[in-house]
Amino acid sequence: MKRTFIVATGFTLLELLLVVTVLVILAALILPALRRTKAKAARPVCMNNLRQIGTGIRMYAEDSNDAFLPATNNPPASFTAYTLLMKSYVGSRSTKPEQARLFACPADTFFWDYENGWISQGLNQQARYYYSSYAFNGGNFSSGGSATPRWPGIAGRKLSSIKEPVKTVLAIEFAALLPYSWHEPARISHYNNAQDAACFVDGHVSLVKMYWNAAKTNGVEAWHYDPPTGYDYKWSGD
């Protein structure tokens, strides 16, 4: 009588480890690409929000003797307290500031905190940032009580005094101030050529590369100085 032997087959431990390793490598390659795709999909919403915010700020200036929002000495309020003055100009009827969708960029899902590092939560969920993903270019009086501007910025300036409206930032994604990017996430707090959406004094909105000089120390951020020739924006109205 002829006997038939059935040999049980299966994965060896080495083969299982190999499969797991391949899956981990694939995940490492695919997940960042998926995050970038999701961030890019949020760009049109962020840019449209900035366009509406820019229109509101200009309307405020027209109703305020041609003057932009007044200076605030305490950051981050110098960049984000404008939201309290903008609601009537942008049609926001929300009773709670955190529910004002106009001030929330959908790509704003993390931010850098000097004391705690990376926080996996949007600035638009933070009361300290007035629930806003976007910053008004008002850092010129952000530190101290001096009547003389310390940094570039347009807080308190006349709309008609801006020399290059097409290049001067009016409002911008808060990430640009350091800079880093929500649209090209790198999880680095400061780096040159981070891509951020900005609204300019003339009303147009575009994605711009932010200049950061690594040679400047002591926590100097991108909004502390105008970029060199070749960049499509500047903080100063001069």
| pLDDT score for 87 | 75
Question: In terms of pLDDT, which residue wins out, 144 or 31?
Answer: 144
d(CA 177, CA 197) in angstroms, rounded, equals 11
| pLDDT score for 88 | 77
CA nearest 231: which of 202, 200, 203?
A: 200
| pLDDT score for 148 | 72
* CA-based torsion, 134, 129, 155, 102: positive or negative: positive
Q: Residue 4 — pLDDT band, cuts 50, 70, 90?
A: low
Mean pLDDT, range 69-86, rounded to an integer: 82
Q: Where are the beta strands (DSSP E) in the chain?
A: 111-113, 117-119, 134-136, 169-173, 194-200, 205-210
Structure tokens at 148: 């003389």
d(CA 63, CA 57) in angstroms, rounded, equals 10
d(CA 62, CA 159) in angstroms, rounded, equals 8
Sketch the domain layout of the chain as residue ranges: 44-224
Task: Say what angle helices 83-90 and 13-62 make with each other, to 10 degrees.
Answer: 80
| pLDDT score for 5 | 47
Mean pLDDT, range 30-55, rounded to an integer: 75
pLDDT at 40 over 80: no
Mean pLDDT, range 101-119, rounded to an integer: 89
Lowest mean pLDDT among 69-78, 131-140, 164-173: 69-78
| pLDDT score for 165 | 97
> Tens digits of per-residue pLDDT, 146-183?
667 788 999 989 999 999 999 999 999 999 999 999 98
Please report, rounded to a whole number, the percentage of residues in the chain having pLDDT higher than 70.
79
pLDDT at 42 over 70: yes
Mean pLDDT, range 53-73, rounded to an integer: 90
Q: Residue 234 — pLDDT band, cuts 50, 70, 90?
A: very high
Lowest mean pLDDT among 50-54, 128-132, 146-150, 183-187: 146-150
Mean pLDDT, range 117-143, rounded to an integer: 89
> Tens digits of per-residue pLDDT, 198-212?
999 999 999 999 999
Local structure of 131: helix, strand or coil = coil
pLDDT at 58 over 60: yes
Question: In terms of pLDDT, which residue wins out, 16 or 140?
Answer: 140
| pLDDT score for 193 | 95
CA dihedral 176, 163, 238, 104 (to 10 degrees): -20
- Check residue 235 and report its DSSP letter: S
| pLDDT score for 95 | 55
